């Protein structure tokens, strides 16, 4: 790494915003934050006096809790904004909501919204750094960072590592951010799912391999990631039934045998057990699904620390 990357005051809309060196710097910082999370007293005063707002216009309990826990462990003040009980329900615009919150002295926004581009709008209206916590089908960069961090911890060098991502590729926001980050770091990515859930531009834009046969996709994979079927985003049936999907794409002992013997098993959650993945795989010794959740706090701590200029 030629020079220390500068993060203070920057936003994270997607991993396009950061170079490979900057991504690796964030992962290194997350290692230190993970050590804090393993202590008996899991708190440091580095962001004392700073205020973090979790602005969640779309529900996501686990992601919001992860952001809030991260901010709390760095001793920042946390304001939790939830649209379902907010002035947005009374007709106030997002712009006026941001002006109101900004008047209270927010230093960093963590935004979740169903509309792509909403984090950029919050940044425009507030002038404050924003971490995208998921915007529609577009991006989920902190999930991608924690996924990459979880793999890196186990295997070290990521270059040339083969990962297969299986599931609802069309509707998830996880896969796009993962593709950007993983390709930047030299990983070989294969995506697999039904043709009706596979956007046609993936190969051209991201240079990944597209497979529709699960056994072909899993062949020689170092890492296997299952994705949730995003039923809430499907306006019409894109496959006959969940049973039909499971018949062809579920991660089971029978299908996972085509991957490498010691392949890591991942899933960003929440899981539909029996649809995308069977318990025999989700709870196996090769599964790092629970680690992904824990690592999410460490990665978000690292981002807040770097963006808000925390001092150790």
Distances (CA, A) of 28 to 56, 73, 131: 28, 18, 19
pLDDT tens for each residue of 144-172: 999 999 999 999 999 999 999 999 998 88
3 state SS of 115? coil
Residue indicated by tokens 């318990």: 279
> Contact, 214 vs 255, CB < 8 A?
yes
Average of pLDDT values for 172-195?
A: 94
pLDDT score at 167? 93
238 phi and psi, to 5 degrees?
-105, 0
Please state at what angle helix 174-184 crosses helix 141-155, rounded to 10 degrees. Answer: 50
Q: Give the E-state strand segments of 57-202 in sequence order.
A: 77-82, 108-113, 130-135, 162-166, 188-192
- The answer to which of 181-195, 221-235, 248-262 has the lowest mean pLDDT is 221-235
Q: Are 14 and 141 in contact (CB under 8 A)?
A: yes
pLDDT score for 286: 97
Rounded to an integer, the average pLDDT of 27-37 is 96
Supply the pLDDT for residue 263: 98
Q: Tell me, what DSSP letter sits at residue 40?
A: S
| Backbone φ and ψ of 210, nearest 5° | -110, 130
Alpha helices in 191-288 (DSSP H): 202-206, 214-218, 242-249, 253-256, 279-282
What's residue 312's pLDDT? 66
Give the model's confidence band at 139: pLDDT under 50 very low, under 70 low, under 90 confident, else very high: very high
Q: How far is CA 36 from CA 29, 44, 61, 162, 297, in A?
A: 11, 8, 23, 31, 11
């Amino acid at each position: 790494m030629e020079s220390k990357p500068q993060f203070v005051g920057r936003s994270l809309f997607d991993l396009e915003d950061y170079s490979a060196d900057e991504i690796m710097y964030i992962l290194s910082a997350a290692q230190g934050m993970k050590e804090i999370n393993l202590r008996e007293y899991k708190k440091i005063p580095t962001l004392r006096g700073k205020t973090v707002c979790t602005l969640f216009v779309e529900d996501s309990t686990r992601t919001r809790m992860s952001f809030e826990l991260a901010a709390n462990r760095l001793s920042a003040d946390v304001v939790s904004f939830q649209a379902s009980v907010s002035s947005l329900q009374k007709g106030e615009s997002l712009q006026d909501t941001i002006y109101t919150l900004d008047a209270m002295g927010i230093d960093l926004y963590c935004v979740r919204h169903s509309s792509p581009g909403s984090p950029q709008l919050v940044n425009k209206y507030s002038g404050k750094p924003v971490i995208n916590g998921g915007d529609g089908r577009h991006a989920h960069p902190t999930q991608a960072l924690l996924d990459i961090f979880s793999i890196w911890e186990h295997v070290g060098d990521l270059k040339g590592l083969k990962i297969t991502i299986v599931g609802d590729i069309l509707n998830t926001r996880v896969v796009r951010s993962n593709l950007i980050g993983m390709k930047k770091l030299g990983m070989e990515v294969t995506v697999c799912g039904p043709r009706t859930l596979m956007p046609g531009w993936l190969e051209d834009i991201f240079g990944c391999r597209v497979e529709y046969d699960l056994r072909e996709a899993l062949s020689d994979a170092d890492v296997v990631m299952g994705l949730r079927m995003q039923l809430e985003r499907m306006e019409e049936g894109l496959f006959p039934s969940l049973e039909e999907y499971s018949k062809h794409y579920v991660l089971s002992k029978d299908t996972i045998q085509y991957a490498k013997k010691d392949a890591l098993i991942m899933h960003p959650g929440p899981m539909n057990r029996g649809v995308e993945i069977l318990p025999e795989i989700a709870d196996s010794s090769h599964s790092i699904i629970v680690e992904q959740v824990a690592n999410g706090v460490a990665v978000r701590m690292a981002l807040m620390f770097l963006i808000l200029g925390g001092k150790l």
